[in-house]
């Protein structure tokens, strides 16, 4: 909306501070989703901030955009607007086309990001690939 990052933190600590400066410090009930006691303690020790008025912080965006932002920028993910709800928000109504929004029937699998190949297996795969380009193994110098 502003064509700039909302929270241009230098690191995750700075970014968390920028977030709380805008949306306000979370109350204890909003920290329930954090599994780590250390994370809860860390967030609680941050300086206490009151929620900024989004309309004042973003004076050049429409009231509909402000409303959607306020529903998306909520500390507790269980209290945030869902993707489906956001797509149905009036601010996005001109972009919403139910016929052009396919839904994945099951969660994506990212197993490919965790290869289970041993070093020896990888060497074998590289060897097989190199043979495709040079079928005469005698001519390969290692």
Contacts 24+ apart (CB under 8 A), 36-45: 43/16
Query: Where residue 132 falls among pLDDT bands split at 50, 70, 90?
Result: confident
Q: Indicate if the pLDDT at residue 139 is higher than 80.
A: no
Q: What is the CATH number of domain 12-100?
A: 1.10.510.10
**What is the predicted pLDDT for the residue at 82?**
93
pLDDT tens digits, 55-100: 999 999 999 999 999 999 999 999 999 988 998 899 998 888 888 8
Q: Identify whether the C-beta of residue 68 lies closer than 8 Å to the C-beta of residue 93.
A: no
pTM here is 0.67
Which two structure tokens, joined as six digits, stand for 16?
């968390």
**What is the predicted pLDDT for the residue at 69?**
95
DSSP 94: T
From 52, 53, 50, 63, select the one nearest 1 (Cα to Cα).
63
Domain-by-domain residue ranges, the chain? 12-100
C-alpha–C-alpha distance, residues 73 and 87, integer Å: 15
């Amino acid at each position: 909306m502003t064509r700039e990052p909302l929270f241009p933190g230098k690191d995750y600590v700075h970014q968390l501070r920028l977030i709380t400066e805008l949306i306000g410090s979370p109350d204890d009930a909003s920290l329930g989703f954090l599994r780590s006691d250390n994370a809860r303690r860390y967030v609680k020790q941050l300086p206490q901030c009151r929620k900024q008025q989004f309309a004042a912080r973003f004076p050049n965006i429409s009231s509909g955009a402000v409303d959607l932002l306020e529903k998306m920028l909520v500390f507790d993910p269980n209290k945030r607007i869902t993707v489906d709800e956001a797509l149905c928000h009036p601010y996005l109504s001109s972009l919403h086309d139910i016929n052009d929004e396919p839904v994945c029937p099951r969660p994506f699998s990212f197993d490919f990001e965790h290869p289970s190949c041993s070093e020896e297996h990888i060497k074998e795969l590289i060897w097989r690939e190199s043979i495709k380009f040079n079928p005469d193994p005698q001519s390969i110098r290692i």
